[in-house]
Amino acid sequence: MSERCARVRDLIQPFLDGELEVNQTVELMKHFQLCVSCRERCNAERALHAVLAAAATASLDEVSRARILEGAFARVDAASARRGWLRGLVVAAGVFFAATAGYLGHADPFCWWGCGTLDQIESYTAASLELVEAVPQDPPAYCGLTLKAVFRSDPAGLPPRRVLEMACDKSGVCVNVFRIPQGHAHGLARRKDGREYFEHVLKDGTRLVGWQDASGVYYCVESTPRELEGDTLYVLAAAIRDGDVSF
Amino acid sequence: MGKAVERSEFEALLAPHLDRLFGFALRMTNDRTDAEDLLQESVFRAYRGFSGFRPGTNFKAWMFRIVTNSFISGKRREKHAPVLCADLDSVRDPSEAVARELADAATDWLRVHGEVVDDDVKCALDELPKEFRAPLLLVNLAGLSYKEIADLLAIPIGTVMSRLFRARQRLRRELRHYALERGHSVNA
């Protein structure tokens, strides 16, 4: 086998996978016109591609197809119903935070508490924020699933980037860790064990309890267990700017 | 970013790709029930997250990414290591000598091709380690690029290419074996 043939054969699989540059494709085609052996090699590889694609496709019968689709849509409907309920909580929490911010005289405390699945969390974010990435962390930093969600905020208002870590476990306890500037506080504070605690009770009786450590990381533990489905996270969202809440 | 979609519109987009998506799920889970569950989970995520799909881009590739991510998430929930990202490239393959011999005799495959049946290919695919099977299926079924596969599986592009190469070598070897069992003569 010539050196040229060896070089061409290295290109055959990327060629069939659609990965070659135009000039490489042209080189390949020219060589195939002259070299039967390499042309047959390419045909052999192409045949393998076709056989793989055909064998790996599996027909779904109509019953299974309907079951899969109906099941998926039913879950979406159920999740939407929960989301509608939770939006009410968002407003309640947002109003609370806004009132607190105004009371304490701090302009831009920023906290996140929203609702969604791993892929859909941006649907619940505040209008002024754009989700940059939401990446599952493995191994999880907490007892269940941990996400690192990076948000880019409206440059006109909030600080440029916030990295939030959100975690939940299957028992329904949700832990949210988020960074806020030092000195910002949320809600009514009380001191216990040397820490200043934030506490708020939502309309449905959910009790939010949290504290802020020396580096500014704010830990909020939702104390009411809730059913979690798959990768669904429970987070509430509010962006506060100049005392106003936006969603 | 896209917008929410009507159910009928979403179903129309999805319908042409369901068999391939199911085939991928089946080849990854090796169990029909698990494959149906994986596909349902993926359809749920896709419909709910449709605003994340950019209109005019490759919907099939987008769906395959969701199925792959759902598969990986499922493995994590079972507290298994994310098998698709394991580094097996340093593991010695005892049949490498055979693979090398066959690498230069790939035209055997062309003669064998007519004798190979679907079940042989499925068995050969199922015998591939998942680390090799996933990139192969994502290239052949989903038409993802090497870069897209690398990003999806969190492995370097070079690793994608090397796993594809080894997966195809192994597949050719297995299928040649099946053909021989059927009595088809394969001469170099």
What is the ipTM score, two decimals? 0.71
Nearest-angstrom CA–CA distance, B4 and A69: 17
In the numeric block, the tokens 């594809």 are attached to B164
Running DSSP on this structure, what letter comes out for residue A232? -
Residues of B with CB below 8 A from A76's CB? 44, 47-48
* Torsion of Cα atoms, A244 then A247 then B1 then B2, to 10°: -140
Residues of A with CB below 8 A from B23's CB? 56-58
Nearest-angstrom CA–CA distance, B131 and A66: 31
What is the bridge-based pairing of β-strands A129-137 and A145-153? antiparallel
Q: Kindly state whether B164 is in contact with chain A, defined as any CB-CB distance less than 8 angstroms.
A: yes
Nearest-angstrom CA–CA distance, B157 and B76: 23
Contact call for B76 and A122, based on CB within 8 A? no
Nearest-angstrom CA–CA distance, A184 and A218: 10
pLDDT in tens, B10-21: 999 999 999 999
Query: Taking Cα atoms as reference points, which of A163, A88, A83, A100 lies closest to residue A129?
Result: A163
Show pLDDT as tens, one digit a residue, over chain A (247 residues).
688 888 888 899 999 898 988 888 888 888 988 999 999 888 888 888 888 887 777 888 888 999 999 888 888 777 666 555 444 444 434 333 333 333 333 222 233 333 223 333 333 333 333 444 444 444 433 323 333 333 333 333 333 333 333 333 333 233 343 333 333 333 333 444 555 555 544 444 445 455 555 544 445 544 433 332 322 233 332 222 232 222 2
Greater confidence (A196 vs B28) lies with B28
Nearest-angstrom CA–CA distance, B164 and B137: 9
Name the phi and psi angles at A164, rounded to 5. Answer: -115, 140
Query: Taking Cα atoms as reference points, which of B107, B96, B115, B98 lies closest to residue B180?
Result: B115
pTM over 0.80: no
Contact call for B110 and A47, based on CB within 8 A? yes
Q: Say which residues have a Cβ less than 8 Å from residue A245's Cβ, sequence separation at least 6.
A: A91, A94, A95, A97, A98, A238, A239
In chain A, whose CA is at the least distance from the CA of B113? A47
Of A51, A72, A145, the CB nearest to B121: A51
Contact call for B121 and A69, based on CB within 8 A? no
Nearest-angstrom CA–CA distance, A205 and A155: 35
pLDDT in tens, B102-118: 444 444 554 555 555 66
Contact B45, B66 (CB under 8 A): yes
Q: Kindly state whether A77 is in contact with chain B, defined as any CB-CB distance less than 8 angstroms.
A: no
Nearest-angstrom CA–CA distance, A79 and A62: 26
Contact call for B168 and A55, based on CB within 8 A? no
Res B35: pLDDT: 92
Residues of B with CB below 8 A from A17's CB? 139, 145-146, 164
